[in-house]
Chains A and B, each alone.
Chain A
């Protein structure tokens, strides 16, 4: 299998290289009109087919690696280091991306899969797809070159082959680890597609905005994958790492967040290009930056540039990424300089207070947030270079700098949809903003009464202050979006005789993109509310003998015993705790601690009881070596479940936005005589 895998990778590299060079030559011939022995159309078709064959070759390599994991082929170094015989089957799959070489192979395979779909759909626009396919082949050459020459996944063990492997990192032995990395990679790799279309469209001076429409679906799906990947990672950190939080501003977390921010900015600003022919250069650079940030993220994970909890994938392939990023940057700059007059804007913004401006400010804030995170991530290196001493840039920095920017962004999320295109009047502002502002101040009062106070024991609590502002702005934004739905729904209800709920559904179906976007914004509001809850986290830790009690918030935990278990993969100890609210026993929890045989590493399995109000989060930290008694740490984390519900809404909103809108004529509408049909046709506006 190792030989098959190695050969498959070599063949894939050869096919990708052919795709790149034949494709580039064909496009060059087409552009210049030079005569050639082989017609350029035929050459381009061979390049396309090479791309398709390349995907099959990379699939064969990926299959060879997975097969080797399942057959415990420890003659392959990668399998020896990332698997063992007792590893459960789903985690054997996870072994594919748990190390450097495997994750690069996953990257190449996903890129091949995206390219495969793209090449099958080439009839949509043969020339543009040929450009995009050739650019994707260029990216694929880079990854396959690394896999063949710098980080080969099929390198063989020297000397005697051990009877069993070293096992998978215990941190990765959790169900979400089977989903989180592929999702994240689907997001990372997926941004290669809009990048390829953007660069291709610029190279060929593509007329009009059709390329934006073609890539919209790709970009949204990619953005969705990245969103899911990030949130699955947060949930994994929450459930596995046992520190009670879900986001630690770790450099690798930051690396996944940065392309998400620029990708989000791109999704907003392309609307300006589609609707008004504005921000063309900006959009091109946004998608270039997003792609380069995905490369930077991969570089940060692997090059050991910054210290991170994700250090398991570090290696010396950083130089490859530096060189590739420089090449990508040079190609982008060169193409832009050469073709920039093709990107002349067709309209200009007319007023500072308008929908266009809100998009511009939204982009500005998203990019500032991206800069802040990039700056914080790289500052330790800058500081070391300038002063000779390294500093840590951790959560306190980001909480102080990024949180206010995030709140401003949330504010814009609410304001933007309330502003009309082009310009607005003071009367329109008053009409649209009165209810959200009333909701904002009502929330401040209610939250303050409920205990969200920025003052504790005579000291100012910055976290609580931000949380109070966050709650208030979130509710104001929710009110603004809800009023948009209700206003449109009421118009349709009046015109069709449907009830308000059915009318709102119809409204959404009539303009899925707009109202899908609003649903995503509501999801963001819920996420922010969940994040604000973190300001009020509480914890309590205790070494617990039998029948000992530990109080946390409204709960009292009583230890009624401890036990242990063992299987082929790990030994586990767990505490059994009854949880009381007042005198009433409400449930039982069993936090666990495992020690994996293969690696001899311990791992906590947190017990979480979720309610809409808060999570009771209990960690079995270990046993006191002197007394043998379990040490239990309990956290009461308010509003965490809102975060996960928010993500589900974001996913739902994205699906809605991806659906085609229905035309009024297919909506079985009974428009009364004399009704303003145009208002109905456009979702009640």
Chain B
């Protein structure tokens, strides 16, 4: 009973923590300076230097100067981040965004890594559990013979000593 109660407590704690983190990740920058910095790091310089807009250091780069002005003006006129990014995409094309938008087919770009990771993680856990279950059955079947005990002791001696490296 105690184990179940403990388990429930830890599950609920983990849920609360995940929820808190998720909420945190949805909150965006609010003041103008932070928004400018944030937006200039979510977009690319379109001059062909393949650099993040906020990090393009070419003096007199007409592309980055114009794009940065667009962000500055957008923030000054009270536009939302999304509206500013949309107008940049309309002007320079989708490649101006430094990461794929989280909509339509491009959403696949964001989902696939975590989906693959979770699938591989789940697959590994299931595989290890299957192996350990099989081993448990096999161990039960031959557990009590003196020969098997001697063999087990030999295996332990030979494989358990050096800590793994």
Residues of A at under 8 Å CB distance from B?
A: 242-245, 248, 250, 271, 275-276, 307-309, 348-352, 355, 357, 360-361, 364-365, 367-368, 371-372, 375-376, 379, 383, 386-387, 389-397, 400-402, 405, 417, 420-422, 454, 456-460, 462, 465, 511, 513-515, 517, 604, 619, 621-625, 631, 633, 678, 682-683, 685
**In the complex, A511→B41 CA distance in Å?**
47
Of the candidates B24, B26, B94, B131, which one forms a contact with A465 in the assembled complex, judged by CB atoms under 8 Å apart? Answer: B24
Which residues of B from 116 to 133 have beta carbons under 8 Å from A?
116-117, 120-121, 124-125, 128-129, 131-132
Closest B-chain residue to A625, C-beta based?
B60
Residues of B at under 8 Å CB distance from A?
A: 24-31, 34, 41-42, 44, 49-52, 55-60, 93-101, 104-106, 109-110, 112-114, 116-117, 120-121, 124-125, 128-129, 131-132, 134-135, 159-165
**In the complex, A309→B55 CA distance in Å?**
14
**In the complex, A116→B59 CA distance in Å?**
50
A77 to chain B, nearest CB (A): 25
Interfacial chain B residues near A307, Cβ < 8 Å: 50
Do A619 and B57 touch (CB < 8 A)? yes
B63 to chain A, nearest CB (A): 14
Besides A352-B125, A458-B31, A465-B24, 8 new A-B residue pairs in contact (Cβ under 8 A), listed by A number: A243-B57, A271-B165, A350-B132, A368-B117, A383-B109, A394-B44, A394-B98, A682-B163
B145 to chain A, nearest CB (A): 20
Query: Max chain B CB contacts within 10 Å: which of A367, A393, A396, A631?
Result: A396
Interfacial chain B residues near A276, Cβ < 8 Å: 159
Do A379 and B28 touch (CB < 8 A)? no
Interfacial chain A residues near B51, Cβ < 8 Å: 243, 248, 309
Interfacial chain B residues near A604, Cβ < 8 Å: 57
**In the complex, A82→B94 CA distance in Å?**
35
Closest B-chain residue to A390, C-beta based?
B95
Q: Which 7 A-B pairs have the closest CB atoms?
A: A514-B165, A622-B59, A394-B98, A348-B131, A397-B99, A396-B99, A459-B29
Do A456 and B34 touch (CB < 8 A)? yes
Interfacial chain A residues near B124, Cβ < 8 Å: 360-361, 364
Query: Max chain B CB contacts within 10 Å: which of A349, A355, A685?
Result: A349
Interfacial chain A residues near B95, Cβ < 8 Å: 390-392
Do A390 and B105 touch (CB < 8 A)? no
Closest A-chain residue to B116, C-beta based?
A371
Do B55 and A375 touch (CB < 8 A)? no
Do A349 and B128 touch (CB < 8 A)? yes
Do A394 and B49 touch (CB < 8 A)? no
Do B94 and A390 touch (CB < 8 A)? yes
B47 to chain A, nearest CB (A): 12
A166 to chain B, nearest CB (A): 20
**In the complex, A94→B164 CA distance in Å?**
42
Of the candidates A244, A454, A460, which one forms a contact with B55 in the assembled complex, judged by CB atoms under 8 Å apart? Answer: A244
B91 to chain A, nearest CB (A): 15
Q: A421-B164, A685-B161 are in contact. Are A386 and B105 (CB under 8 A)?
A: yes
Interfacial chain A residues near B56, Cβ < 8 Å: 243
Do B27 and A459 touch (CB < 8 A)? yes
Closest A-chain residue to B109, C-beta based?
A379
Q: A375-B109, A393-B100, A458-B30 are in contact. Are A349 and B24 (CB under 8 A)?
A: no
Of the candidates A383, A462, A622, which one forms a contact with B25 in the assembled complex, judged by CB atoms under 8 Å apart? Answer: A462
Of the candidates A372, A400, A515, which one forms a contact with B99 in the assembled complex, judged by CB atoms under 8 Å apart? Answer: A400
Do B164 and A514 touch (CB < 8 A)? yes
Do A392 and B112 touch (CB < 8 A)? no
Of the candidates A349, A394, A405, A457, which one forms a contact with B34 in the assembled complex, judged by CB atoms under 8 Å apart? Answer: A457
Do B160 and A422 touch (CB < 8 A)? yes
Interfacial chain A residues near B116, Cβ < 8 Å: 368, 371
**In the complex, A422→B110 CA distance in Å?**
36
Q: A357-B128, A396-B98 are in contact. Are A368 and B120 (CB under 8 A)?
A: yes
Closest B-chain residue to A359, C-beta based?
B164
Interfacial chain A residues near B109, Cβ < 8 Å: 375-376, 379, 383, 391, 393, 397
Interfacial chain B residues near A244, Cβ < 8 Å: 55
Q: A361-B124, A457-B34 are in contact. Are A350 and B99 (CB under 8 A)?
A: no
Do B162 and A392 touch (CB < 8 A)? no
Interfacial chain A residues near B100, Cβ < 8 Å: 379, 383, 391-393, 397
Closest B-chain residue to A397, C-beta based?
B99
Interfacial chain B residues near A383, Cβ < 8 Å: 100, 105-106, 109
Do A395 and B132 touch (CB < 8 A)? no
Do B120 and A364 touch (CB < 8 A)? yes
Of the candidates A422, A465, A631, which one forms a contact with B59 in the assembled complex, judged by CB atoms under 8 Å apart? Answer: A631
Q: A394-B44, A462-B25, A622-B60 are in contact. Are A348 and B98 (CB under 8 A)?
A: no
Interfacial chain B residues near A633, Cβ < 8 Å: 57
Interfacial chain B residues near A390, Cβ < 8 Å: 94-95
Interfacial chain B residues near A309, Cβ < 8 Å: 49-51
Of the candidates B34, B58, B98, B159, which one forms a contact with A421 in the assembled complex, judged by CB atoms under 8 Å apart? Answer: B159
Interfacial chain A residues near B106, Cβ < 8 Å: 383, 387, 391
B88 to chain A, nearest CB (A): 12
Interfacial chain A residues near B24, Cβ < 8 Å: 454, 460, 465
Do B99 and A392 touch (CB < 8 A)? yes
**In the complex, A511→B161 CA distance in Å?**
12
**In the complex, A245→B97 CA distance in Å?**
20
Closest A-chain residue to B97, C-beta based?
A392
B95 to chain A, nearest CB (A): 5
Interfacial chain B residues near A678, Cβ < 8 Å: 161
**In the complex, A279→B112 CA distance in Å?**
26
30 of the cross-chain contacts (CB-CB < 8 Å) are: A244-B55, A248-B51, A275-B164, A309-B49, A348-B132, A352-B129, A355-B164, A361-B124, A368-B117, A376-B109, A383-B105, A383-B106, A387-B104, A387-B106, A391-B100, A391-B106, A392-B94, A392-B95, A392-B100, A394-B52, A395-B52, A396-B99, A400-B110, A460-B27, A460-B28, A619-B57, A622-B59, A678-B161, A682-B163, A683-B163
Of the candidates B26, B27, B104, B117, which one forms a contact with A405 in the assembled complex, judged by CB atoms under 8 Å apart? Answer: B117
B28 to chain A, nearest CB (A): 6
**In the complex, A212→B36 CA distance in Å?**
54
**In the complex, A622→B60 CA distance in Å?**
9
Interfacial chain A residues near B125, Cβ < 8 Å: 352
